[in-house]
Amino acid sequence: MSNLLSSSIGRKLLMSLSGLFLITFLVVHLSINLLLLIPDGGEAFNVAANFMALPLIKFGLQPVLALGFIVHIAYGAILTAKNNKARGNNKYASGNNTKEVMWASKNMAVLGVTILAFLAVHMVDYWIPLQITHAVGSVTIGGVEMHDTYSLVAANFQNPLKVVLYVIGSLGLAVHLTHGFWSAFQTLGASNTIWRKRWTVIGTVFAWVVSLGFCVIAIAMYACGSCC
């Protein structure tokens, strides 16, 4: 087990498995967030969002999600440091993979830090008021009192700077996923010359659909708040 955590292939394996786990989370997150666009005064979104407050989710799934982020970020930082050290001054060495390696070790780290900065703001916007301080209004739906998460999101997106920040964070996510998606399958051995191309296309489409989905939500909520 300690070999797995410290060997180069073990680290790459943990990066790809945690990355695919976080990708699954993003699909669920975007699916719930798309409910924001239903013109029902936020009912469907509030019911789905309050599912996150159930004890099973709060104490069961959330720690697993946090662990997924920690593993991905920690091993990403270790891999980047090792790659930079291994390359040393020879940053422009030629070879089959040189462009890819440089892209992965340089831009993936920069994009990762951008997403991390976005996530820090995002947690202050939502996770802290919803899960820790409960500094959020409440609403009763079907006789059940719950957090009015919809109003929190709607108020947040009345600030154009926040909309810009969410768009930048989502675009950073798109580029990060464009590379990370096929790379994960390559590490897992589910790739050859043909499948490498296929994973690249699937990953690129997936990355932009998910990321533009988040952008559309932020922009639509802003537009709706300004005109409705």
Number of residues that bind ligand HEM (CB under 6 A): 23
Residues in 57-76 at the binding interface with ligand HEM, rule: CB under 6 A: 62, 65
Between 13 and 52, CB nearer to ligand HEM: 52
Q: Are 75 and 15 in contact (CB under 8 A)?
A: yes
Q: Does 126 bind ligand HEM (CB under 6 A)?
A: yes
Least distance from ligand HEM to the Cβ atom of residue 147, Å = 7
Q: Does 174 bind ligand HEM (CB under 6 A)?
A: no
Q: Does 218 bind ligand HEM (CB under 6 A)?
A: yes
H or E stretch at 110:
helix 108-122
Query: Which residues are within 8 A (CB) of 205 and not within 5 positions of it... i.e. 6 or more apart?
Result: none
d(CA 106, CA 43): 43
Q: Does 173 bind ligand HEM (CB under 6 A)?
A: yes
d(CA 128, CA 21): 23
- Contact residue for ligand HEM among 108, 109, 153, 163 (CB under 6 A): 153
Q: Does 33 bind ligand HEM (CB under 6 A)?
A: yes
3-class DSSP assignment, residue 138: strand
Calculate the CA dihedral of residues 60, 148, 151, 219 and round it to 10 degrees: 30
User: Where do contacts with ligand HEM occur on this chain (CB under 6 A)?
Assistant: 29, 33, 49, 52-53, 62, 65, 115, 119, 122, 126-127, 130-131, 149, 153, 166, 169-170, 173, 214, 217-218
